[in-house]
């Protein structure tokens, strides 16, 4: 870790805890900053705040009082989930206080090569693919995953060395809070409309995503989806060397498909059909991963072997198991229609689709063309009626209402036959019934295990 002096004896406010806030506070404290932590949760319900107080860090809990800024902070490190409309952030910006996110802090102290990945969908899968490939048969150093994937970047940056890489998943929320962060390799997998409630408009969302390349120079690389005309245009502002990938066009300077073989700069890498995770979107994720790992010198054999064995990231079109000829897939991370469309496109056999969740006011008409292969639709949560109406428009004959994901598993099994897929891909956020998409996905997996155990007992 670089022992930087920027924060020594400076007053820094860490706004919002969770994993990133806790680790940012600890890192700043170790760098000699005068740290104050402010979290909305009350102190007696806040073990993270209690731990930091015991470490000698000042803690203010139970709200975000604007009066805190009377203490003349020189920096604010903001939890990405706290919106810029929050009064304390609005006031800080008016006062000219720099507001950064934890990933910026991690970049400042890191000695490792940074690979940054952003996009509307596919970030976690691509991040994981890249790390797996780089760690294959490795003799020195390690590729670490960090950032929006769940492991705080500031934690990894304290222990990784110049022999390592940090493969950092970067959300638009995190990228809004950078000043100097500069990936040696930046990847933009795709851009669609998302998080408009946070950013206020699609243009601002896109601007946040494009910040991943704003500090790059001619010695850096920007890997980008060339099948999106918008991204082709946007990358003209980057100073980095552009490495495009495309499923539709042969690109001699990038990654492309020809006769179902994936090529990197005219060098055959692997057959498209050998990629284990289903769907054209995962072909794109793999192409981005191939580009990044080839730039970093990984061998073709290691790339092929990893992608042929990669079963998916948990909750992202994750193959759970097969039982009595049915294959169960957990795609709980599909919190919007686009992600569910991508999941549905990955299967050629009949599908029993489990969907539903938080109602954000949108309809699901864009799913209709993708439901042609859905044999039965099982709906739950606040959007159950809307999704059932969408299923009717698509001509699905079997539509069932259930209470939750757990109940959906049993009904799905009863409606399915050998050779079919049972797919949880909700097209909605989880918060109407589950604390997170991970909790929802775990409920699905646990219900499958329970179903199998009960079925086996009945047959004994």
Residues 6+ apart with CB under 8 A from 221: 184, 185, 186, 240, 241, 242, 243, 292, 295
**pLDDT value at position 399?**
98
Q: Which has more pLDDT, 278 or 235? A: 235
Q: Is 58 assigned to a binding site?
A: no
Report how far residue 289's alpha carbon sits from residue 130's, in angstroms, rounded to the nearest whole number.
Answer: 5
Q: Is pLDDT of 48 > 90?
A: yes
Q: Are 23 and 154 spatial neighbours (Cβ–Cβ below 8 Å)?
A: yes
**Dihedrals phi, psi of 224, to nearest 5 degrees:** -145, 150
Q: Is 381 assigned to a binding site?
A: no
Q: Is 253 assigned to a binding site?
A: no
**pLDDT value at position 249?**
96
The arithmetic mean of pLDDT across residues 368-378, rounded, is 97
Kindly report, residue by residue over 166-184, the tens digit of the pLDDT: 999 999 999 999 999 999 9
Residues 6+ apart with CB under 8 A from 50: 43, 59
Q: Is 312 assigned to a binding site?
A: no
Kindly report, residue by residue over 138-159, the tens digit of the pLDDT: 999 999 999 998 899 999 999 9
The arithmetic mean of pLDDT across residues 317-346, rounded, is 93
Q: Are 114 and 134 spatial neighbours (Cβ–Cβ below 8 Å)?
A: no
Report how far residue 89's alpha carbon sits from residue 99's, in angstroms, rounded to the nearest whole number.
Answer: 8
Q: Is 159 assigned to a binding site?
A: no
The arithmetic mean of pLDDT across residues 307-332, rounded, is 92
What percent of the chain shows pLDDT beyond 70? 100
Q: Is 124 assigned to a binding site?
A: yes
Full set of structural domains in the chain with CATH: 11-100 (3.40.50.720), 103-309 (3.40.1190.10), 318-459 (3.90.190.20)
Q: Helix, strand or coil for residue 320? A: strand
Q: Is 179 assigned to a binding site?
A: no
């Amino acid at each position: 870790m670089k022992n930087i002096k920027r924060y020594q004896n400076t007053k820094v406010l860490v706004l919002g805890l969770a994993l990133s806030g806790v680790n940012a506070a600890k890192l700043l404290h170790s760098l000699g900053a005068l740290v104050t932590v402010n979290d909305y949760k009350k102190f007696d319900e806040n073990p993270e705040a209690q731990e930091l107080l015991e470490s000698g860090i000042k803690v203010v809990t139970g709200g975000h009082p604007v009066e805190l800024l009377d203490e003349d902070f020189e920096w604010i490190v903001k939890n990405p989930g706290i919106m810029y409309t929050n009064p304390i952030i609005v006031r800080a910006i008016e006062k000219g206080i720099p507001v950064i996110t934890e990933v910026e802090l991690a970049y400042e102290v890191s000695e490792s090569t940074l690979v940054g990945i952003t996009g509307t969908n596919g970030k976690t899968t691509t991040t994981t693919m890249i790390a797996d490939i780089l760690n294959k048969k490795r003799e020195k150093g390690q590729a670490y995953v960090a950032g929006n994937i769940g492991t705080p970047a500031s934690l990894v940056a304290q222990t990784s060395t110049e022999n390592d890489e940090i493969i950092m998943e970067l959300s638009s929320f995190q990228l809004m809070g950078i000043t100097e962060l500069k990936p040696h390799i930046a990847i933009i997998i795709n851009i669609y409309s998302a998080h408009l409630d946070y950013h206020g408009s699609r243009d601002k969302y896109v601007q946040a995503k494009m910040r991943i390349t704003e500090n790059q120079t001619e010695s850096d690389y920007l890997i980008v989806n060339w099948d999106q005309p918008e991204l082709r245009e946007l990358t003209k502002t980057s100073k980095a060397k552009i490495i495009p990938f495309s499923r539709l066009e042969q690109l001699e300077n990038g990654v492309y498909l020809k006769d179902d073989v994936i090529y990197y700069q005219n060098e055959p890498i692997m057959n498209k059909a050998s990629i284990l995770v289903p769907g054209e979107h995962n072909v794109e994720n793999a192409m981005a991963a191939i580009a990044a790992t080839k730039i970093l010198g990984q061998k073709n054999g290691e790339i092929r072997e990893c992608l042929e064995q990669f079963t998916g990231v948990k909750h992202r079109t994750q193959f759970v198991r097969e039982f009595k000829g049915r294959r169960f897939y957990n795609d709980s991370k599909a919190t919007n229609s686009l992600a569910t469309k991508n999941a549905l496109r990955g299967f050629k056999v009949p599908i029993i689709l489990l969907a539903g969740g938080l109602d954000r006011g949108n309809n699901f008409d864009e799913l209709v063309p993708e439901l042609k292969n859905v044999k039965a639709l099982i709906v739950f949560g606040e959007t159950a009626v809307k999704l059932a109406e969408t299923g009717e428009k698509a001509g699905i004959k079997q539509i069932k209402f259930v209470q939750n994901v757990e109940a959906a598993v049993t009904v799905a099994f009863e409606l399915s036959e050998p050779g079919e897929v049972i797919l949880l891909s909700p097209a909605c956020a989880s918060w109407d019934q589950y604390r997170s998409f991970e909790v929802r996905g775990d409920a699905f997996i646990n219900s499958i295990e329970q179903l199998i155990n009960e079925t086996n007992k009945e047959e004994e």
